[in-house]
Structure 1
Amino acid sequence: MSSPSPLEGDKVPSHILALLARLHAESLQQEASIARADYDANVIHGNMKDKFIALEPEKCHFVYQLARAINAKYIVEAGTSYGVSTIYLALAVAANCRTTGGVGKVIGTEHEGAKAEKARAYWEECGDIVKDVVELREGDLRETLKEGLGTVDLLLLDIWTPMALPTLKLVQPKLRPGAVVITDNTIGSAAGYQELLEYMQAPGSGFTNLTLPYNKGLEMSVYSPN
């Protein structure tokens, strides 16, 4: 028996569910065609410029459910790509605002202009429930996240591994106590995430960490500074 989608429980409009199903199918098809050699450091940037590299549906459902559980209303997503996971984040923020009031926002980041343009088109297709919640910052996130952040409830790290720790260090001063950091592929890309994981697992870091058994790993870290 398959697990029900939390989006269906929250009565997400059918046209958004259909769009997500289509985008996930395209992403999985692309990923199946990528060879290990395509991830080599000297070619990866060029090879992935037009690829989704989206979180798998089950990971997106988990992140959505988590955002709902912690009443996240301010989320930062490092590595928006075509904006698939952003849709889930925006829907969760919108649902939280309807339930408990207030105003919410998802700050997305994307280096590739063509991907940013396509992401905005998908959000437009979703309608106001998504596009009105998202603020996309284009360019090098080491610059775009330097200023203008509110108190962050959830940080999603779904970027090339060398960028993960610099991003965390930028956002960490804005993490509220109890904020959650989700990092994708921490088993499949363990070597690349070594510095990030050592930083978060160090004594006195303020983070407690748990590796979830999703495909290639999904790290859930809770920030509780002393």
Structure 2
Amino acid sequence: MPLDQIQNLLDTLYADTLRVDPAVRARHHLTEGSPSFYAAMREAYMPVTPDFGRLLYLLVVCGRPSLVVEFGTSFGVSTLFIAAALRDNGAGRVITTELESGKVARARANLRTAGLDSYVEFRVGDARETLRDLPADSVDLLFLDGEKSLYLALLRQLEPALRPGSPIVGDNVDFAGAQEFLDQAGYLRATFSTEALGTRHDHQVLLRTRAAVPTADQVAVSAR
């Protein structure tokens, strides 16, 4: 599997996560959704789970997107999975945006170490500003992994930029702040979970629907 070419770096970053993140969280005693949560997590890796990272890789390999947009870079673990898939496809780029400039510096270094930095455009600041310039019908995959209370606002903002049929992938949709995103109508959704260190993490893949998607009961009735 081509992903093995960066597996040693991923293993190192996940090991660092196990060493750093629990201590950072214990020191600040904050839950996601607290006003100062993300500022307090400047030192924390907060990566996607390994299984979810591999799913991102597979989605990009299978979908062959020209442009992926990622909200929430952190130290670039998920960006590594995406950029590795773009490299293996032979084309494409990912625009990734992150509020904390220090995290972007770490992510740049990680992507450079992996030899994948040429596939990535880093943007620093509030995603509602850094992603304003995306042309219509330009985004082939949108990955949401930043502040959960911004998921719905960003989805609505970026809808014109999404190509028809482009998947939207949301991480940790069970966290506080994501409920409005989950309640947004007009999308076909698949929810699933991965596990890391005994903790379950919920995710969603969305596709915009042109018509109402029939329920299981409706399908059963029409099949009679």
**Higher Cα Rg, which structure:** 2
Task: Give the TM-score band, short-chain normalised.
Answer: 0.7 to 0.9
Aligned to 2:133: 147
Separation (CA, whole Å) in 1 of partners of 2:142 and 2:4: 23
Separation (CA, whole Å) in 1 of partners of 2:142 and 2:182: 15
Match of 2:181 among 191, 196, 207: 196
Indicate how the Cα distance of structure 1 residues 94 and 52 shifts in structure 2: closer, same or farther if over 3 A, else same: same
Letter aligned with residue 86 of structure 2: V
Separation (CA, whole Å) in 1 of partners of 2:54 and 2:72: 18
1:216 counterpart SS class: strand
Between the aligned residues of both structures, percent identity stands at: 32
Letter aligned with residue 168 of structure 1: L
Deviation readout 1:167-188 (Å, 9 max, x if unpaired): 112221111122111111123x
Letter aligned with residue 162 of structure 2: L
Indicate how the Cα distance of structure 1 residues 11 and 142 shifts in structure 2: closer, same or farther if over 3 A, else same: closer
Letter aligned with residue 170 of structure 1: Q
Q: Which runs of 5+ in 1 are unaligned?
A: 1-8
Does the 8 A contact of 2:134 with 2:161 survive in 1?
A: no
- 1:19 equivalenced with 2:5 (yes/no): no
Alignment of 1:40-55 (within 5 A): 41-55=34-48
Using the TM superposition, give the Cα deviation of residue 224 of structure 1 relative to its aligned residue in structure 2, in angstroms: 3.9
Does the 8 A contact of 1:176 with 1:223 survive in 2?
A: no
Does the 8 A contact of 1:74 with 1:93 survive in 2?
A: no
Aligned to 1:4: none
Aligned to 2:201: 216
TM-score, structure 1 normalization: 0.82
Does the 8 A contact of 1:175 with 1:223 survive in 2?
A: no
Aligned to 2:219: none
Separation (CA, whole Å) in 2 of partners of 1:186 and 1:46: 20
TM-score, structure 2 normalization: 0.83
Indicate how the Cα distance of structure 1 residues 132 and 217 shifts in structure 2: closer, same or farther if over 3 A, else same: same
Alignment of 1:87-98 (within 5 A): 87-96=80-89, 98=90
Separation (CA, whole Å) in 1 of partners of 2:22 and 2:166: 34
Aligned residues: 202
Separation (CA, whole Å) in 1 of partners of 2:158 and 2:86: 19
Using the TM superposition, give the Cα deviation of residue 152 of structure 1 relative to its aligned residue in structure 2, in angstroms: 1.1
Using the TM superposition, give the Cα deviation of residue 138 of structure 1 relative to its aligned residue in structure 2, in angstroms: 0.8
Letter aligned with residue 127 of structure 2: L
- 1:136 equivalenced with 2:119 (yes/no): no
1:67 counterpart SS class: helix
